[in-house]
Amino acid sequence: MSRNRPDSPCIALCSTALGDNVCRGCARTFGEISQWCFMGDDEREAVWLRLPQRQRLLQLAAACGVLLELDSLDGVEWGRLPDGSRYRFDEQGVLHRLGRDGAAESLRGDALTPQQAAAWLRRA
């Protein structure tokens, strides 16, 4: 591993023990947390690299008043809302929404507050 990182992303604000699928503290999934000590360096680094994106998804889920649920579509993680629509940020900060019907929309998301982004996601 080329980066100097702490032993774990844990920040002692665990929420998976409360039933969350994604920890609101460190942004790891329950599976990643439970397997952390068994992962190799490359696997751990892959998790570390996903965490900043997940933190943004967590903030947006909270602004929507829901817990973060994750789906992987073609190797890309998406947040999922209770209505079945999905959302994600890309590397340029663009917020993408994929409706249940497959319709895709995008919005420049880097200047939005989580509340503004949540309002856009929830609109029909």
- Amino acid letter, residue 116: Q
Confidence band for 16, pLDDT divided at 50, 70 and 90: confident
- Asked if residue 103 has pLDDT above 50, the reply is yes
Q: Can you read off the two tokens belonging to residue 74?
A: 């073609």
What's the pLDDT tens digit per position in 38-56? Answer: 999 999 999 999 999 999 9
Confidence band for 1, pLDDT divided at 50, 70 and 90: very low
- Give the pLDDT score at 124: 56
In 3D space, the residue among 52, 68, 60, 58 whose CA is nearest the CA of residue 115 turns out to be 60
- Give the pLDDT score at 112: 84
**Rounded distance between C-alpha atoms, residue 85 and residue 18, angstroms:** 24
- The whole-model pTM stands at 0.87
